[in-house]
Amino acid sequence: MSYWIKLIAICLGLALVSVTAWAVFLPASHPVLERMGLLGPMRAAGLPIAEDGASGGRGGPPFGGGEVQVIAQEVARADAGSRVVSIGTATAQRSVALSPEVAGTLKSVAVRSGDWVEAGDLVAELTDEAQQLAVARAQLALQDAQARADRVARLRDSGSATQVQIDDAELALNRATLDLRDAEFELRRRQITAPISGWIGLIALEPGNQVTTSTELVRLDDRTTLLVDFQIPERLVGLISVGDRLQASPLSRPDELLSGQVSAIDARVDQGNRSLRLQGEIANDDDRLRPGMAFRVSVELPGETLPLVDPLAIQWDRNGAFVWALDEDEKAQRKRIEIVQRRDTSVLVRADLSEGQAVIVEGVQNLRPGADVAPREIRPAPQTDPPEETAMQASSNPDPSGSSPDI
């Protein structure tokens, strides 16, 4: 029986020593001990337990053992903005499907697939023998009407022509002029010209083919600038404006980054998927991109500039999150923080921290407010990670796998 009593006494003694050491060496344990009702009796017994929030007196390791050895890191500042990412499809800046104005037989094609043409250049012709004959007849009729009008004019000068003859001659001349213009117009309708400057697409028709007004002869694209249609969530409406910068990369070449800008914003939100359609412009001066390609588009959203700290520097107590920061005298001061944004290797916080100020990332278990600190190492500020991404899959995603990479 006495053996068990001794064993229990030894266990209780070890537990008391452990709890006492926990309270003295680990200030973060104070909230737990206080809830257990042990912290107050320990202080009353005279144990060297610092009061929470105390700022006076010389700090240091437990029992006044000198400066606390720690590792600190400088504070950086970064933009708290985020980035919206969407998948969009490119179209040419201007695109025209060329079709004949009248039905007929294709006589000749003046260009080849892939050619660059200027506005007004001849692309193709339909057979036009009948129209050329009509122009020749109209020219003869005009010459005859002009000769008659000249004769009547000479008779009028001599007083031999009546007013009726004069009016008839002028009317016939005007009618002949209009007939010639009409014949020339019908002849021009057999000539298919480029309405814009651009590149000729694939030509599938050959001379001799019968065509109608609904037959597409060729597509003409001006792709010196590409337009990319993409969508953003409804909650981001108003945060992006025309002229904002964007980055785009082809899904087929994700490492190729292209700069552009937002060129147009739709007038209303799509009620079906609660998204807003936007259009961006991307320069294609080297003609390496093509309409119809899929692009990953990202747009930076504005935000305030806040301190950026390492996640290891963040501590917690019953009042919330805080970090240990070094003041000008290299004393540890507790700084309350509000976590704004978690990133890959750092945390963006709202706090009274200046850029370049050191916060403690290792050795925090031996700190209390006002403690003298001897940093063994002060690490450089954390890298500014990219902002958070808000993904938006465009409804026109052409990705055949059905997945949206990187989102």
Asked if residue 338 and residue 373 are part of one domain, the reply reads yes
For the chain, give the number of residues: 407
Distances (CA, A) of 388 to 87, 126, 148, 277: 17, 58, 85, 21
Name the token pair of 270. 């799509």
Q: How far apart are CA 159 and CA 75, in angstroms?
A: 106
**Structure confidence at residue 405 (pLDDT):** 34
Q: How far apart are CA 289 and CA 293, in angstroms?
A: 8
> Which of 269, 295, 321 is the last residue in one of the domains?
295
**Structure confidence at residue 337 (pLDDT):** 93
| First-to-last C-alpha distance (Å) of the chain | 68
Q: What is the CATH classification number for the domain harbouring 176? A: 1.10.287
Q: What is the CATH classification number for the domain harbouring 339? A: 2.40.420.20
* Structural domain span for residue 139: 128-189
Going by the DSSP 8-state scheme, the letter that residue 101 receives in this structure is S
DSSP-assigned beta bridge partners for residue 306: 78
Q: Is residue 213 part of a domain?
A: no
Q: Is residue 201 part of a domain?
A: no
34-70 b/e with 16+ CB inside 10 Å = b? Answer: eeeebbeebeeeeeebbebeeeeeebbbbeeeebbeb
Name the token pair of 373. 């600190």
Q: Is residue 39 part of a domain?
A: yes
Asked if residue 284 and residue 326 are part of one domain, the reply reads no
Q: Is residue 264 part of a domain?
A: yes
**Structure confidence at residue 404 (pLDDT):** 36
Name the token pair of 15. 């537990």
Name the token pair of 74. 């400088």
Q: How far apart are CA 256 and CA 298, in angstroms?
A: 13
Q: How far apart are CA 330 and CA 73, in angstroms?
A: 13
Name the token pair of 175. 């009618």
Q: Is residue 404 part of a domain?
A: no
Asked if residue 321 and residue 273 are part of one domain, the reply reads no
Nearest to 231 by CA among 407, 101, 353, 32: 407
Distances (CA, A) of 166 to 151, 158, 162, 163, 171: 10, 13, 6, 5, 9
For 287-340, what is each residue's pLDDT tens digit? Answer: 889 999 999 999 988 777 889 999 999 999 888 999 999 988 888 899 999 998
Q: Is residue 362 helix, strand or coil?
A: strand
Asked if residue 228 and residue 185 are part of one domain, the reply reads no
- Count the Cβ atoms, other than its own, within 10 Å of residue 122: 14
Asked if residue 291 and residue 227 are part of one domain, the reply reads yes
Q: Is residue 117 part of a domain?
A: no
Side chain identity at residue 158, one-letter code: S
Asked if residue 375 and residue 308 are part of one domain, the reply reads yes
Place of tokens 């009618």: 175
Asked if residue 285 and residue 240 are part of one domain, the reply reads yes
- Count the Cβ atoms, other than its own, within 10 Å of residue 221: 20
Are residues 349 and 374 in contact, defined by beta-carbon separation less than 8 angstroms?
no
Asked if residue 256 and residue 236 are part of one domain, the reply reads yes
Residues of the chain below pLDDT 70: 1-4, 13, 17, 19, 21-40, 42-66, 81, 384-407
Q: Is residue 224 helix, strand or coil?
A: strand
> Which of 274, 295, 316 is the last residue in one of the domains?
295
**Structure confidence at residue 387 (pLDDT):** 56
Q: What is the CATH classification number for the domain harbouring 243? A: 2.40.30.170
The number of domains in the chain is 4
Q: Is residue 231 part of a domain?
A: yes
Asked if residue 310 and residue 289 are part of one domain, the reply reads no
Q: Is residue 241 helix, strand or coil?
A: coil
From the CA atom positions of the chain, what is the Rg in Å?
A: 42
Nearest to 200 by CA among 98, 93, 281, 127: 98
Q: Is residue 181 part of a domain?
A: yes
